[in-house]
């Protein structure tokens, strides 16, 4: 188990949330817990996760609504819904609204862990794709397939920068942070501006937005 595997647990039952956190940490996962839908949405949009464990009956925003909003913002981390709503129609609704798997409560711990492992295996076995304004980024191929079908080839550095934005689509990045994370061998923040310019030239001016006095962020998906 890679210690880099991050799981967002979204559960408003404090005892169950603690049990899941301790269980998953014991399996070697890095775990972040959200106890309501609003917090889950914020975390899902601002931090990268490899998988989501998501309850449905949440305060603030219902679990499937959280998942739908994350999907529309380009967050593709696979989701396993854990819910007391276990009828076939509930499971169908959960899968239709963006979940990769659905497990009714109460659940068997060994089954939960096995389903999570299977979810992560299926994800890593496919070509990772992230949503970007106007298209989808193929992380491995360093290409963007536009919604109209045109394929744009990126340089390695352009791909690295776009991936960094796309994994955290709502986050605003300071130029110094981007320099450290994407261009660690460089010393001049101007290299960030240069590659933002390159991406805009290929993807359009609004693909990367300037936040005055702060830095850059990914543009809104079209």
Mean pLDDT of the chain: 88
Residue 3, pLDDT score: 44
Mean pLDDT of the 206-214 span: 93
Q: CA-CA distance, 197 to 214, in Å (whole number)?
A: 17
Does position 194 have pLDDT exceeding 70, yes or no?
A: yes
Q: CA-CA distance, 43 to 32, in Å (whole number)?
A: 9
Mean pLDDT of the 23-51 span: 91
Residue 128, pLDDT score: 66
Does position 35 have pLDDT exceeding 90, yes or no?
A: yes
Residue 126, pLDDT score: 52
List alpha helices for 27-149, DSSP H.
Answer: 37-46, 63-72, 88-96, 109-125
Residue 165, pLDDT score: 92
Q: What is the CATH number of domain 6-125?
A: 3.40.50.2300
DSSP-based three-state secondary structure for 103: strand
**Topology agreement, domain 6-125 and domain 129-218:** no
Phi, psi of 112 (to 5 degrees): -60, -50
Does position 48 have pLDDT exceeding 90, yes or no?
A: no
Q: Are 178 and 210 in contact (CB under 8 A)?
A: no
State both tokens at 171. 């986050």
Residue 139, pLDDT score: 82
* Span 82-125, pLDDT tens digits: 988 878 888 888 888 888 899 988 889 999 999 999 888 876 54
pLDDT confidence of 130, banded at 50, 70, 90?
Answer: confident
Q: What is the CATH number of domain 129-218?
A: 1.10.10.10
Residue 121's CB is within 10 A of a number of other CB atoms, namely 10
Residue 34, pLDDT score: 94
| Domain range annotation of the chain | 6-125, 129-218
């Amino acid at each position: 188990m890679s210690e880099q595997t991050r799981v967002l647990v979204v559960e408003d039952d404090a005892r169950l949330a603690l049990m899941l956190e301790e269980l998953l940490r014991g399996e070697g996962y890095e775990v972040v817990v959200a106890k309501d839908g609003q917090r889950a949405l914020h975390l899902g949009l601002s931090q990268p996760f490899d998988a989501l464990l998501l309850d449905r009956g949440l305060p603030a925003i219902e679990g499937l609504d959280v998942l739908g909003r994350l999907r529309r913002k380009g967050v593709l981390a696979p989701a396993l819904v854990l819910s007391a709503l276990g009828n076939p129609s509930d499971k169908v609704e959960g899968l239709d609204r963006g979940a990769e798997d659905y497990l009714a409560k109460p659940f068997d711990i060994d089954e939960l862990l096995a389903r999570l492992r299977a979810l992560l295996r299926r994800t890593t076995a496919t070509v990772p794709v992230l949503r970007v304004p106007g298209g989808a980024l193929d992380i491995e191929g360093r290409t963007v397939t536009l919604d109209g079908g045109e394929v744009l080839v990126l340089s390695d550095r352009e791909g690295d920068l776009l991936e960094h934005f796309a994994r955290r689509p709502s986050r605003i990045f300071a130029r110094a942070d981007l320099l450290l994370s994407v261009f660690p061998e460089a010393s001049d923040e101007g290299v960030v501006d240069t590659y933002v310019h390159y991406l805009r030239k290929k993807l359009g001016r609004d693909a990367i937005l300037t936040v005055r006095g702060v830095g850059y962020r990914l543009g809104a998906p079209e």
